[in-house]
Amino acid sequence: MTKHEFLSELRSALEGNIPVQDIEENIRFYDSYFQESGKSERETCEELGDPRLIARTLIDSFTAAKGPMADFYKEQARNEYSRESRGDNPYQDAAGDSGVKWYDKLFHYVMLLSIAVIVGAVLIFVLKFTITVVIPVIVIVLIVKFLLDLFRRY
């Protein structure tokens, strides 16, 4: 097996299972390992072993590192891989502009506005609850305390 075959097989086994930037980082690592080993490509491949086994180890350690969020990141990696393999760029329009589309911006603004409305509603509820329940209870307790102190004096 040659270096190219090894790296190609490793990349193929990793794609869709971990994020693209992690794949590129690992490919660069093993590429530099080949360059720095001082051995022939065949000897280095034999030393490293099966690239699919290495990929499985990398995927398992990625999963362990991400813990409960591993499935989310794997799904994100699959989406990245499927977009890259189709040549899609979700932020590129027909003219080749890489800017975010207007409806994506609108969606983000609507989401921010929705969150602001919800936070405002919660704050109003807390304020209303404080005014209608907590303050009257505190006032009643203070009046009772004042009356008790007044009766104790006489």
Confidence category of residue 54, pLDDT binned at 50, 70, 90 = very high
At residue 58, does pLDDT exceed 60? yes
Determine phi and psi for 93, rounding to 5 degrees: -90, -175
- Mean predicted confidence (pLDDT) in 42-48: 92
When comparing pLDDT for 83 and 55, which is higher? 55
Give the pLDDT of residue 103: 75
Give the pLDDT of residue 83: 62
At residue 90, does pLDDT exceed 90? no
Q: Report the distance separating Cα 20 and Cα 137, nearest Å.
A: 59
Q: Report the distance separating Cα 94 and Cα 113, nearest Å.
A: 29
For the chain, percent of residues with pLDDT exceeding 90 = 45
Burial class (CB in 10 A: 0-12, 13-18, 19+), 23: buried
When comparing pLDDT for 87 and 49, which is higher? 49
- Mean predicted confidence (pLDDT) in 74-94: 60
At residue 121, does pLDDT exceed 90? yes
At residue 93, does pLDDT exceed 50? no
Q: Report the distance separating Cα 94 and Cα 53, nearest Å.
A: 41
Widest distance between CA atoms in the chain: 104
When comparing pLDDT for 10 and 66, which is higher? 10
Q: What single-letter DSSP state applies at residue 67?
A: G
Residue-wise burial string across 36-46, b where 16 or more C-beta atoms lie within 10 A, e elsewhere: eeeeeeeebbe
Amino acid at the residue 75 = E
Q: pTM of the entire structure?
A: 0.50
The predicted-structure confidence for 12-22, as pLDDT tens digits, reads as follows: 998 888 888 88
Confidence category of residue 104, pLDDT binned at 50, 70, 90 = confident
Q: Report the distance separating Cα 43 and Cα 41, nearest Å.
A: 6
